[in-house]
């Protein structure tokens, strides 16, 4: 499905590039001023993902820097709503531009500027947790957060080696390495590693992995851990399932079952992220800088608008993360710590 969706968007992109610009094409008049005010709260959030109050908070936070940094006659309310609509839907950039009465190039400039400001001024919505947040109820206590990787389909990027972004399913993607709490909020993200990389390689280059090497107790207290799937290395502060060699004990099978049950929250988080911000199902951008900025902004907005009642959708490329993983190195101390957890579950 992901390959078909990416192919369809690539064809659409190529057709748009071949279109001859039309002069004096009328835009949709008064959408923000006359139509948006008629939306009830549920309709507004369905279209823009944030509630009216949350949008107002974003405008208040970004207003001063937004108005001073971008010379445009477009009111900030119109600009923020246009950017939220763009990230929340898979409508073409040309269609969104017509809806909000601006040109396609102006929309792209507003979108990049909006994402940059969200990352700069609202990034505090993603923060590292203190203590355990609900994993004991899932049957795997002393867990700080869960980690996993997610592929974001993209255009062929403008880089020296674009083949590096061609993943094993033969479409271009960037990797979002996400850490989340049990309540499906991101507590750390790293975006932009090539889609051809293995999750373990992308993890090694995250600030979290580097901190675990230098000062692990600063982010994972003694006796606690992060949980991940078999793609990740086994570390004293990072637990993963036992490798199923056909001879697992009943205790080891129970350990795997409970860990996977607790770890599924990160998959749900990715599902909610892509369900809310559907532009991430295929990001029509070629600049890695802009791709990274857009994905990071969506993760921040996800934390702002997350609702405990949200339901997930199936990931667009589940097969990417379900294939057998190459063996990862195990730490002897980590093996003993895992065995101790297994014996006490």
Q: Is the pLDDT of residue 18 over 90?
A: no
- Per residue in 234-247, pLDDT (tens digit) is 999 999 999 988 89
Q: What is the 3-state secondary structure (H, E, C) of 242-292?
A: CCCCCCCCHHHHHHHHHHHHHHHHHHHHHHHHHHHCHHHHCECCCCHHHHH
Give the model confidence (pLDDT) of 298-320 as tens digits: 999 999 998 655 554 444 444 45
282-to-54, 154, 163, 188 alpha-carbon distances in Å: 26, 6, 18, 22
Percent of the chain with pLDDT over 90: 73
Name the burial class of residue 216, with classes exposed (0-12), middle (13-18) and buried (19+) by CB atoms within 10 angstroms of its CB: middle
Return the bridge partners of 283, or none.
154
pLDDT score of 21 more than 50: no
Chain centroid offset of residue 184 CA: 12
User: What is residue 67's predicted lDDT score, i.e. its pLDDT?
Assistant: 66
Task: Note the pLDDT tens digit of each residue in 96-122.
Answer: 999 999 889 999 999 999 999 999 999
Decide: 121 and 62 in contact? Cβ < 8 Å: yes
Least confident among 70-74, 90-94, 291-295: 70-74
Average pLDDT, the chain: 86
Backbone angles phi, psi at 168, to 5 degrees: -70, -10
């Amino acid at each position: 499905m992901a390959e078909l969706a990416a192919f369809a968007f690539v064809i659409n992109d190529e057709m748009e590039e071949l279109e001859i610009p039309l002069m004096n094409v009328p835009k949709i008049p008064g959408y923000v001023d006359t139509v948006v005010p008629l939306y009830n709260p549920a309709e507004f959030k369905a279209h823009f993902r944030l509630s009216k109050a949350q949008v107002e908070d974003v405008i208040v936070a970004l207003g001063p820097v937004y108005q001073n940094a971008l010379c445009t006659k477009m009111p900030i309310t119109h600009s923020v709503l246009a950017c939220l609509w763009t990230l929340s839907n898979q409508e073409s950039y040309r269609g969104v531009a017509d809806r909000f009465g601006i040109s396609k190039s102006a929309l792209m400039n507003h979108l990049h500027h909006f994402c940059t400001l969200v990352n700069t001024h609202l990034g505090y919505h993603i923060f590292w947790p203190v203590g355990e947040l609900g994993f004991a109820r899932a049957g795997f206590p002393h867990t700080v957060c869960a980690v996993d990787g997610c592929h974001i389909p993209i255009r062929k990027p403008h880089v020296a080696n674009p083949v590096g972004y061609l993943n094993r399913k033969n479409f271009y993607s960037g990797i979002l390495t996400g850490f989340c709490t049990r309540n499906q909020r991101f507590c750390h993200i790293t975006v932009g590693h090539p889609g051809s990389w293995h999750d373990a390689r992308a993890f090694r280059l995250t600030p979290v992995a580097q901190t675990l090497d230098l000062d692990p107790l600063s982010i994972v207290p003694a006796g606690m851990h992060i949980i991940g799937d078999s793609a990740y290395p086994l570390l004293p502060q990072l637990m993963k399932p036992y490798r199923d060699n056909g001879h697992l004990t009943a205790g080891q099978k129970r350990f795997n079952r409970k860990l996977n049950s607790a770890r599924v929250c990160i998959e749900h988080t990715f599902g909610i992220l892509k369900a809310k911000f559907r532009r991430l199902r295929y990001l029509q951008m070629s600049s890695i800088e802009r791709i990274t900025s857009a994905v990071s902004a969506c993760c921040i907005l996800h934390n702002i608008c997350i609702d405990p009642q949200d339901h997930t959708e199936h990931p667009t490329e589940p097969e990417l993360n379900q294939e057998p993983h190459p063996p990862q190195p195990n730490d002897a101390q980590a093996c003993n710590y895992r065995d101790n957890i297994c014996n006490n579950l």
